[in-house]
Every structure is written in structure tokens, then in C-alpha cells.
């Protein structure tokens, strides 16, 4: 049987800079000697080790812990604390972190995110706690104007001084984005195109792969060629609330290696599932755009997409990873990973393209593995394994607790079973008061805008391009009925 790889050869549009950054250093360690931190001396760490340390300190420091991020330049974990207790500071420093004292506690930032959820769940908005600024960063896309903008602006102002920043994006938030092999499904009126994320083993031992939930909702059977016969069938699909699908290969003898093709005949072995850390360098392999790199800019992101089935509704997805990695149409569901072979995310949506840049959001792999019961590789890195077991329900480093933006990451909470937008509290202009209490849209590159404080120009911001990667006609996750292939 031919191998079904979570990969595709890089095309002419692949970013050579990303390949140069990734390939010479694939699987290389970033461990080193000690270096000077924000305060005192901190250890140099790989991003995955920094995430583990952050989770440990979050438990050890309790209420004094106010989030953390990875300083990729110094290769250090920076931990925010909200009081000057000498024991707290000494404890964090001894553990190897750089320590920074901040004003806003995790509880205060979580409360701010909750107010946004209940008062400003408007299509085209997102928010996330940014530990680098110790604030909630709120972003509105180009569709948020008039009364909707005024309501959002008023809500942000009501959070209090120094609690949130409001930015305007010129793009439009749509489900889209990137990964490995192109996969296709024929539906009424045309084809749907997405990308394979990561090969996995389903809980019953059968070969399978993960992709975006909005792809699995759009079509049941998938092929590895535009006109080919189906080779895999959706077993589980969740969207909105979360955005992941488990798709089983129809042939139980299919070989499904745990690797991503980085182009030029090079592959990156996927060794584990891990949680993303704000500030770390990540890579995205796209069936449309090839290999691109960037940084994680936010965790526990909440994105409010315009509903594809209800013109006045909203499809809210919670608990996402936000990055400044570009993506385009046809890449939904694809792989987000690190150079040392950690699987981080499945492409969900965003704005912009690979010419102008933009915000891009990814479903965390750890949460998808936990919800589906699937495992990566030999089966020790999935739900309850290395990475997912410690970082799944309610304990995800830098997400639910670290970011302070909500109670992320279980199969129930993240999927929006109770808090999902559209649960029945819809109120005007698509504002639904049950979007989940995650935060969204961290610190995007090119988002533009200034901190709220009066006189803000709703059209400000330097983000350009709408960049739908779900559908080139701009319809989103479902096929728009045209004869052309729609990219997700």
C-alpha cells in the first residue's frame, strides 16, 4: 500500500527562508548554559521544555502566577508574578525562569475575557490574553463597523484602564489555513479541498489522520486526488466550539507514518504532541503555499466567525493557538509543528495571505487527541500520553490557566458543549452570549491599531487582505456550490 503522509512536496511558492531555518537544524537541541534573564539568572531552554516549566510553576506559585511566555532570543521562560513576595520570586528563579512583576492577575484577566464573551461575541472579533503585555488583546476585523464597533469599543473601555488593548484588522476572519497533503471531497456543486494534518492511530488501532473540524463537517469521504476515489471516511468531526476531525483510512493496511514533508525531499519526524508557548518559533506546511514559519502570538484564542448557515449568527471556536504564520485557501486542517518534531496544531482560520501576512489560528493537537482518543506515532503521545495527558483538560500550559483567559481544553469545555456560541443566547447582530470563556487573537503581526483610550479610528490597522482559505469565493467552510474546487 502506498504511504499516506502528513506531507506534500513544497511548490514554487514555498518560503525558502523557512526551509533554510528548519532543515539544517531539524531535531537540534536548544539547550545551553545559563544566561541572564529578566531578573536574575535564568536557564536557556527549548520551547517545549519552557512549556513544561511554565506548567510546573503555575501550580507551584498559585495565585501569584500571572502567565508566562518564551523569549526566543534568549531562549528563556519569562514568568509574570503579581506580588513582590520574596519567596515567590526566589522559587521561580531557582526553577530556572526569568521573573517579571506585573499588575494584572490571572483571575482579573480571566474575568475580563468572560465579560467580552458575554457582552461582545460579535462575528469578526477575537481576543486572547497576551502575557507579554499583561493585557487582553482584542481584535476586530473589517466587518465590525457602526453599532457593532461601538459596542465592542464600549465593552473594552468598561474593562478598566490597563486591562485590554483594542486593535482593528483590515482582513476578515474566515475558517481556512494550512498543512500537509491536499485532500479532496466531491460534494454537490463541486469539490471541497483541505489539508491533512497529522497521521495518527485511532483508539481501535486503525490508521487515521487529523484535519480541521469544519472540513469534516463539510464532507464525509475524502480522497488524495481531486478526481480520485475516496480513501478515508470521517469518524468524528467537531465544529464550531472546537475545530478538529478524525478521519479513518478505509484500508486498514494503509501505512500512516508520523512525519511531515518539509520539501526538497526532507521530512520532519513527528515525535510527540505538545502545547504551544507564546514566543516560540513554529512551522506550517501547506498544500497550497508550502513551508512557512513564524511565532506563536497568543493562546486560548477565541475567534467569532460569521456563521455559514445563519446570516445573523456566529460560529465561535475556542481554545486556539494564534500565530503570525501566513496561510491561504486550501490549507485548512494542515500541520503546525516545531523543528524538533512536536505536533502543535491543525489550521483553523484567520485573515490575510502569504503576500500581506495576517492572523492565523490553529486547533491544539493535544486537545484533539484527547477528545478523539487517537495517538501519534507509536501511541505514547496522544490522549493521556506524552504531551496530551498533562496538558489536556484544564491543565494546558499557557492556555486555560496560564493565559488566564478561560477554562480551556477538555473534550467537553473546549468543544463548547456548554458554552458554545449559538447555544441559545443569541442577541442582536449575531451576538451570542455563550461563546465559551477562552480568549483570542493574541499579538498579531500587522494587526495595527492602538490601545483603547478615546478617538480610536475604527479603520486603523495595517493588516491587508481578506485571505479566505476556506473558500476562494469567500463563503467559508462549506462548499459554495460553484464548479471550482473550494479551499478550506
β-strands 232-238, 244-249: how paired? antiparallel
The answer to whether the beta carbons of residues 244 and 368 sit under 8 Å apart is yes
Among the options 130, 134, 224, 243, which is catalytic? 243
| Cβ neighbours of 342 (radius 10 Å) | 27
Among the options 68, 214, 413, 437, which is catalytic? 214
Does the annotation mark 462 as catalytic?
A: no
Does the annotation mark 292 as catalytic?
A: no
* Sign of the CA dihedral with 479 first, then 485, 487, and 488 last: positive
The answer to whether the beta carbons of residues 327 and 159 sit under 8 Å apart is no
Dihedral angle, C-alpha 222, 224, 226, 230, nearest 10 °:
-40
Among the options 105, 178, 332, 466, which is catalytic? 332
For residue 434, the SS3 value is coil
Longest Cα pair distance anywhere in the chain, in angstroms?
Answer: 66
CA 170 to chain centre: 20
As given in the structure block, the three cell numbers for residue 150 are 461601538
The answer to whether the beta carbons of residues 175 and 488 sit under 8 Å apart is yes
Contacts of 318 (CB under 8 A, 6+ apart): 241, 242, 300, 302, 406, 408, 414, 416, 419, 420, 435, 436, 437, 438
Gap between the Cα atoms of 327 and 176, Å rounded: 8
Does the annotation mark 332 as catalytic?
A: yes
Angle formed by the axes of helices 86-95 and 47-61, nearest 10°:
150
| Cβ neighbours of 457 (radius 10 Å) | 10
Enumerate the H helices of 159-206 as residue ranges.
Answer: none
Q: Which residues are catalytic?
A: 214, 243, 332
Amino acid at each position: 500500500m502506498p504511504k499516506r503522509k502528513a506531507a506534500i512536496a513544497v511548490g514554487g511558492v514555498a518560503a525558502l527562508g523557512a526551509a533554510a531555518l528548519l532543515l539544517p537544524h531539524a531535531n537540534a537541541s536548544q539547550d545551553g548554559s545559563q544566561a541572564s534573564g529578566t531578573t536574575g539568572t535564568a536557564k536557556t531552554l527549548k520551547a517545549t521544555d519552557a512549556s513544561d516549566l511554565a506548567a510546573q510553576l503555575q501550580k507551584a506559585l498559585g495565585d501569584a502566577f500571572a502567565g508566562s511566555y518564551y523569549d526566543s532570543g534568549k531562549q528563556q521562560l519569562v514568568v509574570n508574578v503579581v506580588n513582590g513576595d520574596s519567596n515567590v520570586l526566589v522559587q521561580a528563579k531557582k526553577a530556572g525562569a526569568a521573573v517579571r512583576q506585573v499588575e494584572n492577575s490571572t483571575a482579573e484577566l480571566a474575568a475580563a475575557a468572560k465579560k467580552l464573551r458575554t457582552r461582545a461575541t460579535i462575528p469578526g472579533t477575537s481576543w486572547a490574553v497576551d502575557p507579554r503585555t499583561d493585557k487582553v488583546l482584542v481584535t476586530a476585523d473589517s466587518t465590525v463597523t457602526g453599532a457593532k464597533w461601538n459596542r465592542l469599543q464600549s465593552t473594552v473601555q468598561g474593562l478598566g484602564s490597563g486591562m485590554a488593548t483594542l486593535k482593528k484588522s483590515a482582513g476578515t476572519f474566515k475558517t481556512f489555513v494550512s498543512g500537509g497533503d491536499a485532500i479532496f471531497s466531491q460534494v454537490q456543486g463541486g469539490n471541497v479541498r483541505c489539508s491533512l494534518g497529522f497521521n495518527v492511530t485511532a483508539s481501535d488501532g486503525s490508521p487515521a489522520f487529523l484535519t480541521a473540524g469544519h472540513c469534516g463537517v463539510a464532507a464525509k469521504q475524502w480522497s488524495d486526488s481531486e478526481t480520485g476515489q475516496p480513501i478515508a471516511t470521517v469518524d468524528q468531526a467537531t465544529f464550531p466550539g472546537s475545530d478538529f476531525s478524525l478521519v479513518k483510512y478505509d484500508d486498514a493496511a494503509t501505512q500512516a507514518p508520523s512525519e511531515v514533508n518539509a520539501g526538497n525531499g526532507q521530512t520532519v519526524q513527528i515525535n510527540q504532541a505538545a502545547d504551544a508557548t507564546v514566543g516560540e518559533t513554529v512551522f506550517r506546511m501547506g498544500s497550497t503555499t508550502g513551508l512557512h514559519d513564524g511565532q506563536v502570538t497568543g493562546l486560548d484564542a477565541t475567534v467569532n466567525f460569521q456563521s455559514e448557515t445563519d446570516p445573523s449568527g456566529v460560529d465561535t471556536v475556542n481554545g486556539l493557538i494564534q500565530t503570525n504564520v501566513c496561510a491561504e485557501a486550501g490549507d485548512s486542517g494542515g500541520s503546525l509543528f516545531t523543528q524538533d518534531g512536536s505536533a502543535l496544531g491543525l489550521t483553523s482560520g484567520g485573515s490575510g495571505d502569504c503576500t500581506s501576512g495576517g492572523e492565523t489560528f490553529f486547533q491544539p493537537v493535544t486537545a484533539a487527541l484527547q477528545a478523539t482518543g487517537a495517538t501519534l506515532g507509536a501511541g505514547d503521545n496522544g490522549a493521556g500520553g506524552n504531551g496530551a495527558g498533562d496538558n489536556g483538560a484544564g491543565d494546558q500550559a499557557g492556555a486555560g490557566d496560564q493565559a488566564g483567559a478561560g477554562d480551556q481544553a477538555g473534550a467537553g469545555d473546549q468543544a463548547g458543549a456548554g458554552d458554545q456560541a449559538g447555544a441559545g443566547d443569541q442577541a442582536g447582530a449575531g451576538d451570542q452570549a455563550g461563546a465559551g470563556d477562552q480568549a483570542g487573537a493574541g499579538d498579531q503581526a500587522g494587526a495595527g491599531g492602538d490601545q483603547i483610550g478615546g478617538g480610536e479610528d475604527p479603520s486603523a490597522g495595517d493588516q491587508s487582505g481578506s485571505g479566505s482559505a476556506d473558500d476562494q469565493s469567500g463563503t467559508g467552510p462549506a462548499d459554495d456550490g460553484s464548479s471550482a474546487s473550494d479551499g478550506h
